[in-house]
């Protein structure tokens, strides 16, 4: 097969997959051993012909989870927007790294444009920004920036001198914060997790007490991270009390908006969930989650601290790759990144932004919130369902109520049955009462009838499981 024939065959398989991505089962589940046998991964050890290559492609697509399917309500992302899929295809074909301007001129210009758009959107002035590999990476960058700002000599001298430093996050903050404390040499014991209140928000009184206690123990409170949309309950830590504490203690205030930060795209939702966001020191969120851009698409923004990223990240080797132009403009984005090679993510982001526009994305966010309200109403009105936590924003935590069985183990069995039978794929979490289901309506293609069908399938499957046992 020549190159044109290979591309044509690939397009044929992709079109066939897309035509059925919302039909039938969400996944044709097989256990790992059966799937491995079906794929026959050891075949053709000396090189496979194109028909075998495409056989693996067909099996990959046939056995993959259909993330655009209405039954995929498992993760904080779902099927990708079509403009971003086009962007992914073009970047794969052009195959370059967005580390230097000379190797990726269009990507560099587009990324700078989009970063400027986001800084302006959030209201950050005299700031800078970067696309990263996701909010875990962005949270690491935020903590690193805070550490190096608090201790300017740490990049060269390390943490072997000076008094201890303490970071503070919600008890429900993402686990990447703990990873960041480990990677940065602070130690996880230097990360204080503040309990949450009845709303799932960081308890500000306890935070204030812990900040004071740290100072009394001769430790520097250098970093506090609020969460805009916690992973389980979807809670938003209040920004204005955090700003007041920052003014008192002088720490770097970061907001991790990986999940819920996209509400900044809607003026109405921004005012409701993120008042004061324009005053924090840094902010990140994922365009690949609720906005629907193809994975991965994250932005990390720094407020009113120009050249921070250049000071924090190693500039790299200018003897062979990064060549300073002398005009104080960053053209080689890899020079202010933790990475060397950088995947081109700006094209898909740019195409999505131009296709939908801010108004279109705002409608998406508002539509998804309306669906979450609708889902909460169904749970509250059904005698077979129970709302585990009051809905704060986009997360619906609920249980099926079996008549006799223990609700926790039963709900885990129910969730796995839905998954293995290809009916739906929903996440689960746990509290002191055991497992419960965590419904995430991340796809803006969903409508109320899809939500109706989902809960109908949950209840019908639950009743059938009860009858079988």
Cβ atoms 461, 423 nearer than 8 A? yes
User: Reduced to 3 states, what is the DSSP secondary structure of residue 322?
Assistant: coil
Domain-by-domain residue ranges, the chain? Answer: 3-67, 79-469
The residue with tokens 């900040």 is 211
pLDDT tens figures, 22-50 = 999 999 999 999 999 999 999 999 999 99
Cβ atoms 138, 191 nearer than 8 A? no
Averaged pLDDT, 352-376: 97
For 40-81, where are the alpha helices, taking DSSP H only? 50-63
At residue 85, what are phi and psi to the nearest 5 degrees? Answer: -65, -40
Please give the Cα distance from 266 to 278 (Å, whole number).
14
Whole-angstrom CA distances from 228 to 23, 233, 246, 274 are 33, 11, 17, 8
Count other C-beta atoms under 10 Å from residue 331's C-beta. Answer: 17
Name the pLDDT band for 330 (thresholds 50, 70, 90): low
Structure tokens of 356? 């939908």
Which residues are CB-contacts of 312 (< 8 A; sequence separation ≥ 6)?
Answer: 141, 144, 145, 148, 155
Domain 79-469, architecture per CATH: 3-Layer(aba) Sandwich (3.40)
HEC string for 374-408? HHHHHHHHCCCEEECCCCCCCEEEEEECCCCCCHH
Name the pLDDT band for 315 (thresholds 50, 70, 90): low
Which pLDDT score, from 0 to 100, does residue 334 have? Answer: 85
Please give the Cα distance from 281 to 40 (Å, whole number).
51
Cα angle 304-188-289, degrees, rounded to a multiple of 5: 55
Please give the Cα distance from 10 to 13 (Å, whole number).
5
pLDDT tens figures, 174-208 = 999 999 999 999 999 999 999 999 999 999 999 99
Helix axes 82-94, 346-381, angle to 10 degrees: 150
- 264 has a pLDDT exceeding 80: yes
Please give the Cα distance from 454 to 70 (Å, whole number).
8
Which of 426, 447, 448, 446 minimizes the C-alpha distance to 438? 426
Which residues are CB-contacts of 329 (< 8 A; sequence separation ≥ 6)?
Answer: none
Please give the Cα distance from 407 to 5 (Å, whole number).
55
Please give the Cα distance from 395 to 421 (Å, whole number).
24
Averaged pLDDT, 253-266: 98
DSSP 83-94: HHHHHHHHHHHH
Please give the Cα distance from 219 to 213 (Å, whole number).
9
For 170-225, where are the alpha helices, taking DSSP H only? 176-183, 204-216
C-alpha dihedral (279, 303, 362, 90), degrees to nearest 10: -170
Averaged pLDDT, 449-464: 97
Kindly provide the b/e burial profile for residues 301-319, where b requires at least 16 CB atoms within 10 angstroms of the residue's own CB.
Answer: bbbebeebbeebbeebeee
pLDDT tens figures, 414-435 = 999 999 999 999 999 999 899 9
Q: What is the CA radius of gyration of the chain?
A: 24
Higher pLDDT, 155 or 135: 135
Whether the bond into 419 is cis, omega within 30 of 0: no
- 10 has a pLDDT exceeding 80: yes
% of the chain with per-residue pLDDT over 90? 86
- 168 has a pLDDT exceeding 70: yes
Q: Side-chain half-sphere of 441: how many Cα atoms within 13 Å?
A: 30
Q: Is the dihedral of CA 335, 336, 340, 343 positive or negative?
A: negative
pLDDT tens figures, 48-73 = 999 999 999 999 999 999 999 999 99
Lowest mean pLDDT among 145-159, 318-332, 367-381: 318-332
Name the pLDDT band for 325 (thresholds 50, 70, 90): low
Which pLDDT score, from 0 to 100, does residue 328 have? Answer: 58
Structure tokens of 225? 């991270």
Name the pLDDT band for 155 (thresholds 50, 70, 90): confident
- The chain-wide mean pLDDT, for the chain, equals 94
Averaged pLDDT, 270-277: 98
Please give the Cα distance from 88 to 82 (Å, whole number).
10
Burial of 389 (0-12, 13-18, 19+ CB in 10 A): buried
Strands (E) located in 195-251: 220-227
């Amino acid at each position: 097969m020549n190159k044109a024939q290979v591309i044509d065959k690939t397009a044929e398989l992709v079109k066939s997959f897309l035509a059925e991505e919302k039909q039938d089962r969400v996944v044709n589940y097989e256990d790992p051993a059966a799937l491995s046998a079906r794929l026959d991964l050891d075949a053709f050890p000396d090189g496979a012909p194109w028909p075998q290559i495409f056989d693996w492609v067909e099996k990959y697509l046939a056995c993959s989870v259909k993330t655009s399917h209405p039954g995929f309500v498992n993760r904080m992302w779902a099927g990708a927007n079509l403009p971003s899929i086009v962007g992914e295809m073009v970047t794969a074909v052009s195959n370059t790294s967005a580390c230097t301007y000379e190797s990726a001129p269009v990507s560099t210009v587009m990324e700078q444009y989009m970063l400027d758009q986001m800084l302006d959107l959030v209201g950050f002035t005299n700031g800078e920004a970067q696309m990263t590999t996701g909010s875990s990476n962005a949270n690491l960058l935020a903590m690193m920036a805070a550490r190096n700002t608090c201790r300017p000599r740490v990049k060269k001298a390390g943490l072997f001198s000076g008094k201890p430093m303490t970071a503070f996050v919600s008890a429900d903050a993402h686990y990447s914060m703990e990873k960041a404390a480990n990677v940065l040499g602070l130690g996880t014991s230097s990360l204080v997790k503040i309990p949450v209140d009845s709303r799932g928000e960081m308890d500000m009184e306890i935070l204030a007490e812990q900040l004071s206690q740290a100072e009394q123990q001769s430790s520097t409170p250098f970093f506090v991270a609020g969460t805009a949309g916690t992973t389980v309950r979807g809670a938003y830590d209040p920004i204005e009390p955090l700003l007041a504490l920052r003014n008192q203690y002088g720490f770097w205030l970061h907001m991790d908006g990986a999940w819920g930060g996209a509400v900044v795209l809607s003026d109405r939702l921004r005012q409701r969930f993120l008042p004061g966001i324009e005053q924090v020191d840094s902010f990140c969120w994922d365009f690949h989650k609720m906005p629907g851009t193809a994975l991965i698409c994250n932005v990390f923004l720094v407020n009113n601290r120009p050249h921070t990223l250049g000071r924090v990240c190693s500039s790299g080797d200018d003897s062979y790759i990064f060549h300073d132009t002398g005009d104080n403009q960053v053209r080689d984005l890899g020079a202010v990144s933790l990475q060397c090679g950088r995947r081109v993510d700006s094209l898909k982001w740019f195409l999505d932004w131009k296709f939908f526009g801010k108004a279109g994305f705002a409608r998406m966010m508002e539509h998804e919130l309306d669906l979450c309200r609708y889902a909460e109403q169904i749970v509250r009105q059904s005698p077979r369902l129970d709302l585990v936590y009051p809905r704060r924003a986009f997360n619906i935590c609920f249980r099926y109520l079996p008549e006799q069985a223990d609700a926790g183990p039963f709900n885990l069995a129910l969730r796995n049955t839905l998954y293995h039978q290809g009916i739906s794929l929903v996440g689960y979490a746990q509290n002191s009462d055991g497992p419960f289901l965590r419904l995430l309506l991340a796809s803006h293609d969903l409508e109320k009838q899809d939500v109706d069908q989902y809960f109908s399938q949950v209840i019908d499957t639950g009743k059938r499981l009860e009858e079988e046992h």
